[in-house]
Amino acid sequence: MKHLKGMSLLEILVVVSIFAVLGVITTRAVLLTLQGSKKSESLVRVRENLNFALGTVERQIRNADSVTECPNPDANLITYADARGDASTFSCVNIGSDDGYIASASARLTSDTVNVTTCSFVCAVGSSLNPPSVTITMEATDKSATGIQGSSVSTTTQIYLRNY
Q: How far apart are CA 23 and CA 150, in angstroms?
A: 27
| Structural domain spans, the chain | 12-160
Identify the sign of the CA torsion 100, 102, 103, 107: negative
Q: How far apart are CA 29 and CA 23, in angstroms?
A: 10
For residue 139, which of 155, 151, 157, 120 has the smallest C-alpha distance? 155
Which pLDDT value is given to residue 135? 92
Which pLDDT value is given to residue 1? 58
Mean pLDDT of the chain: 86
pTM: 0.74
Cα angle, residue 80 at apex, residues 79 and 84 outer, rounded to 5°:
145
Which pLDDT value is given to residue 72? 85
pLDDT beneath 50, residues of the chain: 164
pLDDT digits (tens, 9 = 90+) for 15-48: 999 999 999 999 999 988 887 788 888 888 889 9
Which pLDDT value is given to residue 27? 92
For residue 113, which of 50, 54, 59 has the smallest C-alpha distance? 50
